[in-house]
Structure 1
Amino acid sequence: MSERRPVVDLTDEEARRALILKWGTVPADVLPAWVAEMDYALDPIVHEAVLRAVRDGVTGYPVFGYTPELGEAYAGFAARHYGGEVEPEWVYPVVDVTAGVRVAIDVLSEPAPVVFLVPGYSPQLDVADLTGRRRVDLVLDADAQRAEIDLDRLDALLADGARTLLLTQPHNPWGRVFSRAELEGIRDVVVRHGARVVCDEIHAPLVLPGAAHTSYLAIEGTHDHAVAVVAASKAFNTAGLRCAQLLAPDPETRRRLTEVPMSRNDSWSPLGVVAAVSAYTDGDGWLASLVERLDGLRSQLSDLLAEQLPLARMRPLEATYLVWLDARAYGHADPAEVAFDRGRVKVAPGHDYAPGLAGHVRLNIATSPDRLREIVRRLAAAWSYHR
C-alpha cells in the first residue's frame, strides 16, 4: 500500500469553486448534501498527475480502444483490493459508467426488456429506453429492514421476456454490498433464462468495514453472459475528467465491443486516463484514509439520527457515502422539498430513484463532521416543524 495521506476538507469557498454542480448551484445559505461528490480536496498524487499532464499538453484525443497502462493499473488495483483476477486486456475505456452501461446494453443485449432494481441510480432509470428497450422494475420492499433482491420476482420477470439485468454492486442508493451467495443466486436465475447481466460496480472501492466487495465477474460461470463497468471517479472525486472502464472477460464480447463505431461510444478524456492510472496505481494510501473517514461519518450519522431524528429509518450502510433515509414518519410526502425550503439543506428526493415514492431521501455524508452535524440539525428542525 502507498503511504497514507490524509483526507482534507474543502472550505465552503473552496467547495463552491471546485464542486460547481453540488455547491455552485445552490444559494449561499444552503448546505448541499445531494449529488454524489465529496467535499474533499483531491488526493495530492492524483492532483499532481493531472497537473503534470496538463503542463505536458495532454489535452488532445485519447488512444481509442485497449489502453495497456489503464488495463494494467486496474488489474493491479483489483488484485490488491478485491483479490480479483482481472486480465489487463479485459479493460476497455468508456466515457463514464452510465455511458458504459448504455453501450453494453445497446451492443450486447437482446432487444427485450431490461430489469432494473428500484429504487435505483436515477440517471440509469432511462437507459433501457435510450437503447430502444423497455424497463421493468424489480422493486425493493420499502418496509424491509435490509435491501435484498427478490430472486422469485427476478425469475418471473425473465420468464416473462426480460433478457438483461442491470445490477448495481455495491448498490446506490440502497447502500448494500451483495454477498457471494446472493450473486450466485442471481447467476443461477439469469443462466436459467439465457439472460445477460450488466453490472455497475463504480462504488466498489467504497466498501466500508464489515463488508467486502465481490465482483459479479468473480462468480464462476458469469464470463459468457456478463460485463462490469468500473471507475476511479467516485472514490477519487474525478467524475469531471471522464473516464470509466468496461470489463469484458469473454473474447467474443470484447470483439463485439471493440467493433462498435467510434460515434456509438462517447470519447473518454486522456486526462481521465491519467487520473485513473494514478489512482489505481498510487492511490491506496489516500483511499484507506477516505474509507476510515466515511466509516466514522457513518457512525456519527447513526448517533445524530438517534438523538435528533429518531423516527427516521437509516438502512444499514455497507458501502458508498450515500444514505437512503426513510422519513415517512415525519409526515411529508416530499421531505427533500421541506428540507430545502425550511431547513436550507439540499438532499436528493426519493422519487428521483423510485418514481412515485414518497417520504424518502438520499443523503450524501461525504463532508466534514461539523457540516454533517449541522445538516442533521437542520433536517430535524425542518421535518419536525409540523409535529
Structure 2
Amino acid sequence: MAIFDLTLAELRRRTSMKWRRYGPDVLPAWVAEMDCRPAPAVRETLVAAIESGDTGYPEGSDYQAAYADFAATRWGWDFDPNDAVIVPDVMQGVAKVAELLTPPDTAVVVNNPVYNCFYGYLPWAKRRVLEVPLGADGRLDLDALAAAFAGPERPSAYLLCNPHNPTGTVHSPAELTRVAELAAEHGVAVISDEIHAPLVPADAGFVPYLSLPGTEDAVTVTSASKAWNLAGLKAAVAIGGTRAAAALRTLPNEVTGSASHLGILSHVAALEKARDWLDEAIDEIAANRALFSELLARDVPGAVYRPGAATYLAWVDARGLGLDRPVQQFRTRGRVALSDGAAFGSGGEGFVRVNLATSPEILTEVVARMGRAVAPA
C-alpha cells in the first residue's frame, strides 16, 4: 500500500494546523505535515497504550537507545545512549541547549535562508541571530562562516541545520569536518538540528555531525517526529559529544521530563519497527520530487526549482514571476497555501516552500493551482 494514498476528502476531516489554518477552498501545501496515516507499528503501539490506560508520565531511556540503534544501522554512527537526554521537542531542545552552552545575549550563527523557527526560538532563549548566508550554490559558505566566527560579534554558537531546511541540501563530510575545525578554532559551540535526517535516502550520504572527529563539544538535537509524521506526539532527544554530554545531564527535570509519554512510545515504535515504512515514504517522496519538477516547469514557467536530496519540502524561486509577494498571489488567486520564503530569513524573499508529502493527485492539483495563480487574467 502506498504511504501517500489519502484522498482530499479524508484529509479535510483533519483538525491539525495544516488543515485548519485556511478555508476549505484553499489547498494547503505549506507546513511540514505529511498526508499519510501512521505507520502500522506506531498505530498499534498507541492503541495498545490507550486501551491499557498507559497514559501517564514518561520514564526510562528507551528513546535514547532506540535512536542509537537506528543511527548505528542507518549511518554507522555509534554513540552511547547515556550521552543523550529527552527534550520536549527539537526546537525547545535547541533553545535549552543554547541556554546551557552559551552566555545570554550572545550571537548564534544560522545559514539563511533557514528553518523559520530558528528566528523565533533563539530570541526566546535570549540569544541573537547572526545570519551567514548560504553560498550561491545553496551550500555552506565556509569562508563566510570563518569570517563570522572570527568577526566582531564573536558568536558563541552555530545552529547547524543538517540536512538543510528549506533547500534540502545534504552537507558533505568535508564541509562538516571543516565546520568542526572552525568551531574548535574559535570556541564556537555547535548545535546540530538533525530532525530531517531519517528522510535522507541512503545514496545521498547523510553524515551525523557527531560522527565526525572534533565534535566532542557539540550537541545534536533530533527526533522521529518529522520522518514518521508524529509532530503532534511531542518528544525528541539531545545527544552530546563526549565532552558536552556531561553538561546535557545537568538539564533540569522541567526540560527532560516534559516530553509526552505517548510521544516517546510512538517514536520508539517508529525507530524500531517502522523502518520499512520509512523507506517506502522516502521512495514516494523521491517520485513526487521528480513529478513536481516536471509539473512546475510545465505549469509555472519562470519559477525555478533545484531539487535537494533531503526533506519532502521544495524550495522554489518565484522571483522570475514578477510578483511582489508570490505566496500571497498563490493563495488569493490560486487558492493554494504555501510557506512564505521571507519567513526563512534574508535571501528568502520571492521564494516559496512547497510540501511534497502528499499523493501525486493532490500534488498535481497544487501545481495546477499555482499555474492558475500566475496565468494572465
TM-score scaled by length of structure 2: 0.95
Say whether the 8 Å CA contact 1:59–1:270 is kept in structure 2: yes
Deviations 1:280-329 (A, max 9, x none): 10111101110110010011111112212231111232110001100101
Deviations 1:316-353 (A, max 9, x none): 32110001100101011211100000000000011111
Q: 1:188 aligns with which of 181, 185, 190?
A: 181
Where 2:232 maps in the other structure, the secondary structure is helix
Q: Provide the rounded CA distance (Å) in 2 between the counterparts of 1:133 and 1:72.
A: 31
Where 1:167 maps in the other structure, the secondary structure is strand
Aligned to 1:137: 131
The 5-angstrom pairing of residues 328-367 of structure 1 reads 328-355=319-346, 357-367=348-358
Per the TM alignment, residue 86 of structure 1 is displaced from its structure 2 partner at its CA by 2.0
Where 2:315 maps in the other structure, the secondary structure is strand
Per the TM alignment, residue 265 of structure 1 is displaced from its structure 2 partner at its CA by 5.4
Aligned to 1:229: 221
RMSD: 1.7
Aligned to 1:22: 18
Q: 1:100 aligns with which of 71, 75, 93?
A: 93
Aligned to 2:31: 35
Q: 1:216 aligns with which of 194, 209, 226?
A: 209
Where 1:241 maps in the other structure, the secondary structure is coil
Aligned to 2:373: 382
In structure 2, the CA distance between the partners of 1:241 and 1:95, relative to structure 1 (3 Å rule), is same
2:73 maps to 1:80: yes
Aligned to 2:241: 249
Per the TM alignment, residue 268 of structure 1 is displaced from its structure 2 partner at its CA by 0.4
Where 2:158 maps in the other structure, the secondary structure is strand
TM-score scaled by length of structure 1: 0.92
150-159 or 193-202: bigger deviation: 150-159
AA aligned to 2:304 is R
Q: Provide the rounded CA distance (Å) in 2 between the counterparts of 1:19 and 1:315.
A: 32
Q: 1:48 aligns with which of 28, 44, 49?
A: 44
Where 1:381 maps in the other structure, the secondary structure is helix
Where 2:167 maps in the other structure, the secondary structure is coil
2:261 maps to 1:267: no
Q: Which consecutive residues of structure 2, in runs of 5 or more, have no partner in the other structure?
A: none
Aligned to 1:117: 111
Per the TM alignment, residue 355 of structure 1 is displaced from its structure 2 partner at its CA by 4.9
In structure 2, the CA distance between the partners of 1:261 and 1:87, relative to structure 1 (3 Å rule), is closer
In structure 2, the CA distance between the partners of 1:326 and 1:209, relative to structure 1 (3 Å rule), is farther
Deviations 1:9-52 (A, max 9, x none): 22223323335210122211111000000011111111111111
Where 2:159 maps in the other structure, the secondary structure is strand
In structure 2, the CA distance between the partners of 1:27 and 1:50, relative to structure 1 (3 Å rule), is same
339-348 or 101-110: bigger deviation: 101-110
Where 1:188 maps in the other structure, the secondary structure is helix
Deviations 1:96-119 (A, max 9, x none): 100110011001124421001111
Q: 1:207 aligns with which of 197, 200, 208?
A: 200
Where 2:74 maps in the other structure, the secondary structure is helix
Deviations 1:43-98 (A, max 9, x none): 111111111111121222222xxx33222211111111111112221221111100
Aligned sequence identity (%): 39
AA aligned to 2:126 is G
Deviations 1:208-254 (A, max 9, x none): 3641210110111112x20101111101111111001111132x533
Say whether the 8 Å CA contact 1:350–1:360 is kept in structure 2: yes
Say whether the 8 Å CA contact 2:58–2:257 is kept in structure 1: no
Q: Provide the rounded CA distance (Å) in 1 between the counterparts of 2:327 and 2:31.
A: 13
AA aligned to 1:84 is W
AA aligned to 1:13 is A
Q: Provide the rounded CA distance (Å) in 2 between the counterparts of 1:375 and 1:368.
A: 11
AA aligned to 1:44 is P
Say whether the 8 Å CA contact 2:86–2:256 is kept in structure 1: no
In structure 2, the CA distance between the partners of 1:335 and 1:8, relative to structure 1 (3 Å rule), is closer
